[in-house]
Chains A and B, each alone.
Chain A
Amino acid sequence: MPHIKPILAALKRHKAGTILIALQIALTLAIVCNALFIIQQRVTRLSRPTGMDESNLVAIQNRWVGVTDAAAAGVLTRADVLALRQMPGVQDAVQVNAFPLRGGGWSTGVRVDVDGKKPIAHTTQYFMDEHALATMGVKLIAGRNFRADEVVTTDPDKIQTSPQAIVSKALADKLYPDGSALGKPIYLGDDRTPSTVIGVVERLQVPWGAAWTDDFAENSVILPVQLTGNFSTYLIRAKPGQQAELVKAAPAMLTKLNRLRVITGDRGVRTFEVVREQAYKSDRGLAILMGVICLILLAITAAGIVGLTSFWVGQRRKQIGVRRALGATKHDILSYFLTENLMIGIAGVVIGALMAVGLNLWMVTQFEMARLSMAYVAAGVIALLLLGQAAVLAPAMRAAKVPPVEATRSV
């Protein structure tokens, strides 16, 4: 076992280098812990399932040209949907106001009590017909689907309360925690007329992937409404293996059906894979950037340790020779430098752990970030101590190779 007291005594005589490396370790720990925590949150968000059969879905955004009457646009949209459903390779299709990860949609508060002043939860509203569940591939876990006769076609400005609603399980559990949402009323926005929950789907994500939706990421209501208007969005579920073909065939068919439209290049026709990629582009970018920053910081810290230890080994070459002459084995010399680094590392990670928590608390208050899990601090502490030991190993081994005869050489 190496001797801590003389190592501490020696470190006290080399305060500047010791404090600088300890601070570097501390700063690295504080930043890396928080960065990894943010990365983990982003990765969790990136991999959050929408609840849909994503691998077979295609989304098309269409704009009618020269059609000024909303009702006429509604007729054309209906014709599109019917034609899409007839296409070979299509399992089902539906006109939607929004879909998960689209980036834009409707949201509102929900109450269960008509006189309730404050919404119990926040939710997104999807307006779709009875083909919604089959098209999206979401799993109905309670109740029933809409019937065709329950679907209302309306102008967005004249929407009325739907008597029926299908809700996601997350929302159902939030509104009725005892699991009894089916058949119960919900009040959307300022409505005083209830919608009755006729079905519950296992999972359906909101149209946004950003952090501000984390509190209601899976709170969704589907209402049996078809909106008319100049813009129409279609969600098409391909039969297995037909998605790639549909990406080309569906817009071609629609254009052939009616040329009074624009389907833009970039967001006009997208597989869901593309939708997901575009929705999380900034999250992925941030995660990669933070990952790179972490790696650079760790590399700089490791290089600092290697540099300082190499300098100390060079500076103490004679001293190492004297220790060897006085009976130190190679292992004694190796463990001297490893222990010395461990002691600096421990000082660094203790300060760093406090800084990591402090930095996180600051970000919690300034940017509404989540509280840093102590597991990250613990993992960071272990990782940095191991990094320190790995970094010091090469110079420490060089030190161990200093021969005892070095003691007799004049510098």
Chain B
Amino acid sequence: MLKMTHLAKVYRTEVVETYALRDFNIDVKEGEFVAVTGPSGSGKTTFLTIAGLLETFSGGQYHLDGIEVSQLNDNARSKIRNEKIGFIFQAFNLIPDLNVFDNVEVPLRYRGMKAAERKQRIMDALERVGLASRAKHYPAELSGGQQQRVAIARALAGSPRLLLADEPTGNLDTQMARGVMELLEEIHREGATIVMVTHDPELAARAQRNVHIIDGQVVDLAEDPRFHHAVHEARTGTPA
């Protein structure tokens, strides 16, 4: 479903080159629920933005649902984002000027879907997240957990092949976070492929598989001393 091989992402300025991802390899199979963890600045978000075709990469290969995406133009990338990927952002990213129904409708409109089908899908997705009764509400009138559920409905409405979640519970309290996580697990059980970036080891543990990123590379935690250093640093606040 999602396969990156020797992928690199370099940010260049006039004086310095910074590798956000280096020789990055990952293979997510269809139907998997993968949690991507790692310390701040390790490259988790860069991985997610490249995986979601929000950014281009500097080298290597990336196959998404069998398509090599490096040579695609902007329109083709937009089409893939629209049809194959569902995004769930940490900050929900609902459009404040639109009500819940219209927010969920946004990606469907860009797909050029007929109004009747759009309506059906929107209501199904809102039913799915338990917010059908809030269709006419604006985001500001909802709690954080409800907003994230709307964002999940928006991601689900287009029946994407892949769900990408960036710290989906990062802005929620424990109770709301639990609800959102249970929803993601339910969606996964129904067959969805989910890649979730998270800081939270507890959430990561609930995923089917964990992938750890340190310094822009996927590492095998058991063998990598950098992980132990990172754990030490996280626990003590001092470098190992």
Contact = CB atoms under 8 A, between A and B. Distances in A.
A327 B49 contact: no
Interface string A311-332: 0000000110011111111111
Contact of A325 (B87, B96, B97): B87
Contacts of A184: none
17 contacts: A6-B109, A9-B102, A10-B95, A318-B93, A319-B96, A322-B93, A323-B95, A324-B81, A326-B82, A327-B79, A327-B83, A327-B111, A328-B110, A404-B54, A407-B87, A407-B89, A410-B91
A251 B49 CA distance: 90
Contacts of A6: 98, 102, 105-106, 109
Contact of A326 (B91, B96, B154, B166): B154
Given A326-B106, A328-B110, A407 B83 contact: no
Given A326-B82, A327-B82, A327-B83, A403 B54 contact: yes
A259 interface: no
Interface in A305-349: 318-319, 322-332
A48 interface: no
B99 to A, nearest CB: 7
Given A403-B54, A404-B81, A332 B98 contact: no
B55 interface: yes
A9 B102 CA distance: 9
B88 to A, nearest CB: 11
A332 B110 contact: yes
B41 to A, nearest CB: 15
Contacts of B110: 323, 326-329, 332
Specify which of A3, A5, A326 lies most central, judged by the most chain B CB atoms within 10 Å of its CB.
Answer: A326
Contacts of A329: 74-75, 78-79, 110
Given A323-B95, A329-B74, A407-B93, 7 more contacts: A324-B54, A326-B107, A327-B111, A331-B75, A332-B78, A404-B55, A408-B89
B111 A407 contact: no
Contacts of A10: 95, 97-98
Contacts of B49: 405, 408
A40 B78 CA distance: 51
Nearest to B78: A329
Contacts of B54: 324-325, 403-405, 407-408
Given A10-B98, A404-B81, A327 B107 contact: yes
A17 to B, nearest CB: 12
A14 interface: yes
A330 to B, nearest CB: 6
Interface of A: 3, 5-6, 9-10, 13-14, 318-319, 322-332, 403-405, 407-408, 410
B150 interface: no
A326 B91 CA distance: 15
Interface in B79-126: 79, 81-83, 87, 89, 91, 93, 95-99, 102, 105-107, 109-111
B87 A326 contact: yes
Interface of B: 45, 48-49, 52-55, 74-75, 78-79, 81-83, 87, 89, 91, 93, 95-99, 102, 105-107, 109-111, 154, 166
A9 B52 contact: no
A158 to B, nearest CB: 85
A360 to B, nearest CB: 38
Given A325-B87, A410-B91, A9 B97 contact: yes
Give the 8 A-B CB pairs with smallest separation, nearest first: A327-B82, A10-B97, A327-B110, A326-B107, A405-B54, A404-B54, A13-B97, A329-B78
Contacts of B89: 322, 407-408
A327 B75 CA distance: 9
A47 B86 CA distance: 68
B99 A324 contact: no
A51 B228 CA distance: 103
B166 to A, nearest CB: 6
A50 B95 CA distance: 67
A325 B81 contact: yes
Contacts of B74: 329-330
A324 B78 CA distance: 7
Contacts of B55: 403-405
Contacts of A332: 78, 110
Contacts of A403: 54-55
Contacts of B98: 6, 9-10
